[in-house]
């Protein structure tokens, strides 16, 4: 179907072409938190039903979700694919940024914890030699133009 990428050689731009809208990543968030059915996604996100239909279809076409028959019965359900589950670090870093910069001190928010209930520590970019990386210590190497 020859997708029409915004910026074909930038992985960030391609990722955003697939999930860079207001709702897609919230759907993925809820899928990670156990949502499986149309109604459950709708209830959790509050998204309009026609838009939800569209997003579920798109995410399925892009290979982030798959539809399979539920184990119990005849209903169908949406489950994350490996590619969808691979968005975990993206959701996690968004969460961490949100906690730090989108809440006033004192405001409470939900927290991501491991199976023992211990809050998940922050994710810090580090280089091969263990040094911390940021905007000032990295740069984008453009692909060679054929």
Residues 46-105 that bind a second copy (CB under 8 A): 46, 63, 80, 83, 85-103
- Site membership for DNA, residue 68 (CB under 7 A): no
Among 18, 19, 31, 56, binds DNA (CB under 7 A): 56
- Site membership for DNA, residue 69 (CB under 7 A): no
Please report the DSSP string for 20-74 in residue order: -STTHHHHHHHHHTT--SHHHHHHHH---HHHHHHHHHHHHHTTSEEEEE-SSSS
Instruction: Give, for 94, the enclosing helix (H) or strand (E).
Output: helix 88-101
- Site membership for a second copy, residue 22 (CB under 8 A): yes
CA 112 centroid distance within chain: 14
Residues 86-145 close enough to bind DNA by CB under 7 A: none
* Residue (61 or 86) nearer to DNA, CB: 61
Q: How many alpha carbons lie under 13 Å from residue 5 in its C-beta half-sphere?
A: 10
Q: How far is the CB of 129 from a second copy (least distance, A)?
A: 9
d(CA 81, CA 91): 15
Q: Which residues bind DNA (CB under 7 A)?
A: 21-23, 37-40, 47-51, 53-54, 56, 73-77
């Amino acid at each position: 179907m020859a997708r029409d990428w915004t910026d074909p050689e930038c992985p960030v731009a391609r990722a955003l072409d697939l999930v860079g809208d207001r709702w897609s990543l919230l759907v993925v968030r809820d899928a990670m938190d156990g949502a499986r059915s149309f109604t459950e996604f709708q209830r959790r996100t509050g998204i309009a039903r026609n838009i939800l239909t569209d997003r579920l279809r798109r995410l399925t076409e892009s290979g982030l979700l798959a539809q399979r028959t539920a184990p119990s019965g005849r209903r169908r359900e949406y489950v994350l694919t490996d590619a969808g589950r691979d968005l975990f670090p993206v959701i996690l870093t968004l969460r961490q940024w949100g906690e730090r910069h989108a809440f006033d001190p004192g405001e409470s928010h939900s927290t991501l914890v491991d199976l023992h209930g211990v809050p998940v520590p922050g994710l810090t970019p580090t280089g091969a030699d263990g040094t911390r990386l940021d905007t000032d210590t990295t740069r984008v190497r453009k692909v060679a133009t054929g």
